[in-house]
Structure 1
Amino acid sequence: MNMKKNDKGKWEVRLSLGIDARGKRVQKYLSASTKQELRAKVSAFEQAYANGEIATSIHERRKTYTVTDLLDEYFEVHTPSLSINTRRNYRSLITCITKHLGTHDINRLTARHLESYLSMLEKEKGMKTSSVNLRIVLFRAAFDYARQAGYTKNDAPMFLKRRKETKTKRNLWTVDELVRFLDTAREHSPYWVTFVLLAMTGARRNEVKALTWDCVHLDEGYVHINKSIAQLTAAQRHESRTGKLHQFTPPKTKRNRDVYLDAGTMSELRRWRVEQAELLLRFGEKPEDDLVCTTPFGKYLNDTLLRTEYRRICTRVGLTPMRIHDFRHMHATILLNNDTNIKVIQERLGHTSIATTMNIYSHVTEAKQKDAANAFRLQIDREKKRNVQ
């Protein structure tokens, strides 16, 4: 097995699987960012092939190789190393595509077919530009894999042009609206601590839901974020054989971090720990995985429950709901507006680089740049007046 780096800096390998029904040699092409990742892909593919889960030839399946065949195989070969949530999103995306194009022969699929499909999504379904571009990227990658594997010479997706994406303005709440929401949640919601942590830590939703009590340092005044949580589908639960609705995963950027909190929030966490213990005692339940954010029965708080409760509180307060992820953006924006060092914000949010933070919150930093320019001019003018006098 000869692994080598290609011109794009990726590691690649061709696997020979024998001869097909027409006497032609059958090969599989695999690629990855690192040699170690490629070895893992090869191992996973060989195991699936040995178990008969992957056909050795397009002619062994059917006379034509359809879009469904291609996307299913591409998914099995290229996604084993991805996170559970990313794999689920890929599978959902492929399911949506195959509903419309699944039966098409990949050798007869034209750019016109693809453009017609994408235009339908944009005009009739009102799909966002970013979602349309995601499909274009998947088409290109899958057909590139098919060409290198010798399944087709069709390069129709390469003629698709990515749509120009425009940044949409985030409709964040004001600080007063955030305060009203949190006050109402504390008084009327059994999930109030989840919303408090979303607002006060700036952590991602699944990082907050994954927080366990051993990572809450009440005396030192910080929480240690070292994991995320993935909600499993029915098939994934069956495969895991644990019966659980969730599974712990590393944080999105693989960066563990300590997020310090104010004394008031730490006091609320102490109060919640007592309340949670009393609820579990009342219902005779044991806490699931020692999670901080749970249902009153100590169970995993799934996304449906969280979203339903979030909308209920918004209705009670009279607020237009923003995305739950926007608690994170509000956290960063409030800190930036209060002149918090951008490096500190990057560390709190868990971004891999400070450039990521500055790019996401460029609208805030631009305003700060203008303030800095005005402050500099004001100082120069003062000095001029002093010299004249």
Structure 2
Amino acid sequence: MKIKEITKKDGTKVYRINVYLGVDSLTGKQVRSSVTAKSRKMCETKAHQAINNFISNGSTIAREKVIFNTFDKLALSWFESYKLTVKSNSIRVTNNYLKVYLLPELGVYRVDRITPMLLQEIVNKWAKNANTAKIINGKRERGKCKDYKLLLNLIKRILDYGMQLGAITDNPALKVFPPKLKTRAIKKIKYFDNSELKKFLCYLDTLELTPDNVRRTTLYRFLIATGLRVGEALALSWYDIDFNEQTVIINKTIVQTLTERDKIQKSAKTRESNRIVSLDSNTSTLLKNWKKVQNKRTLSLVDTLIFSYENHNYTYAREIQILTKHFASACVPNIGFHGFRHTHASLLMNNDVNPKEIQIRLGHADYAITMNTYSHLAKDKKKDTAEKFSNILKAL
């Protein structure tokens, strides 16, 4: 940097330097500034300060530096922007992570005082809690989740947001490494084997034909026959069913929100979950019979949710309570609603259905998800493979 000595009209001397600050991150233009001081040393100091101020403001002069006194204010500002880019269920989950984990640990800290060591200690504590927490019915205690890597990623995203706004100059979370999650007991997939499924279906046939029982029996059989997620099924309306082609369009899902208005999310869980699923004749007939009960044997031109009755839309929380009672009455294992989906996949696997077709039918984003989740359920096929290998050897 070349410093010029300038003599003013009153004879006093000052020193001036033209400083190249860098390329503006918002406009893409080069930014220069002029610094004046009473001494060469002071001039150099001011020049370095100008460069540092430019960088700390997000490498831009197009806006003023944004100041967040504490992490919670930065996090909540980030969350407002985040909510505009994701679906309702992601908003709900992230809001829970913020309230239960991030803000209690970091909320009161000044953003510029958050260090890699502080974050590492917090992540280590989360990891220790996850590795030592009691697991009851497949779930850890509240506040001791195993998703501490995801929590760290949220911190990184929040601090990146702070850097973009010029609130901080670097991201300390980038220097933090999450400990490995210890392998606990392998999570067993809950599903009905053939005998259990037959027992449950026979139990459903014994129920009194009240509207509530017919609706739930139709729902249970529908889930077993299609492999849909229960949230996808509860969001279906009659317009989604094509009885002529015997297909159902899945492009919505129920989410757990506080407001009835936002209950149905106008898109499925993932992009691949938006799909068309074929129905078998028995399931198609089952739906037609339920529609007659729902409409009280009258013709209705109004589109309604398939699994509703008398304008009442049932919640997941209520439905799982009733389902649990039915499992107990039928003397079968409690596999939950998702167990119907696993049962559907197991049946297809054991009956030589192409795994790629199963992936599409279930709406999995990746073929590997289908194989890693369900391939071991094809117990009958393993026996067949052993027999086939034995026959191959005999034929040599």
Q: What's the CA shift for 1:176?
A: 2.6
From 151, 154, 160, the equivalent of 1:135 is 151
2:152–2:173 contact (8 Å) kept in structure 1? no
- Cα distance in 2 for residues equivalent to 1:205 and 1:58: 45
Q: 1:101 to 1:178 in 2, by over 3 A?
A: farther
1:324 aligns with 2:341: no
- Structure 1 residue 292, shift from structure 2 partner: 0.4
Output the amino acid matched with 2:307.
C
Match of 2:11 in 1: none
Aligned-partner Cα distance in 2 for 1:57–1:120: 35
> Does 1:158 pair with 2:175?
yes
Distance apart, 1:327 and its partner CA:
1.6
Tell me how far 1:219 sits from its aligned partner: 3.7
2:306 aligned with 1:306: no
Q: 2 CA distance for matches of 1:180 and 1:232?
A: 35
Distance 1:373 1:120, change over 3 A: closer
| Offset from partner CA, 1:87-139 (integer Å, 9 cap, x none) | 11111111111234422334235022332344345535745764333323323
Equivalent AA in structure 2 for residue 228 of structure 1:
T
For residue 83 of structure 1, the aligned residue among 77, 81, 87 is 87
Alignment of 1:1-389 (within 5 A): 57-59=66-68, 64-66=69-71, 68-97=72-101, 98-106=103-111, 107-108=113-114, 110=118, 111-120=120-129, 122-123=131-132, 126-127=140-141, 130-152=146-168, 153=170, 155-156=172-173, 158-164=175-181, 166=183, 167-185=186-204, 187=207, 189=213, 190-234=215-259, 244=261, 246-255=263-272, 256-278=274-296, 290-294=304-308, 296-364=309-377, 368=381, 371-372=384-385, 375-379=388-392, 381-384=393-396
- For 1:93, give the aligned amino acid: Y
Q: How many residues align?
A: 324
C-alpha contact (below 8 Å) 1:201/1:259 kept by paired residues: yes
| Displacement after TM superposition at 1:371 (Å) | 4.5
Structure of higher CA gyration radius: 2
1:135 to 1:85, Cα distance in 2 relative to 1, 3 A: same
**TM-score w.r.t. length of structure 2:** 0.69
Inter-partner Cα distance in structure 2 for 1:123 and 1:279: 57
Which AA in structure 1 matches 2:255? Answer: A
Deviations 1:158-216 (A, max 9, x none): 32325336452213232332333344456263422222221110012221112111222
Task: Give me the identity figure in percent.
Answer: 26
Gaps of 5+ in 2: 1-23, 28-48, 135-139
Cα distance in 2 between the residues matched to 1:258 and 1:154: 44
Counterparts of 1:302 and 1:352 in 2: how far apart (Å)? 26
Residues 227-253 of structure 1: per-residue CA shift (max 9 Å, x gap) = 32334324xx6xxxxxx3523422223
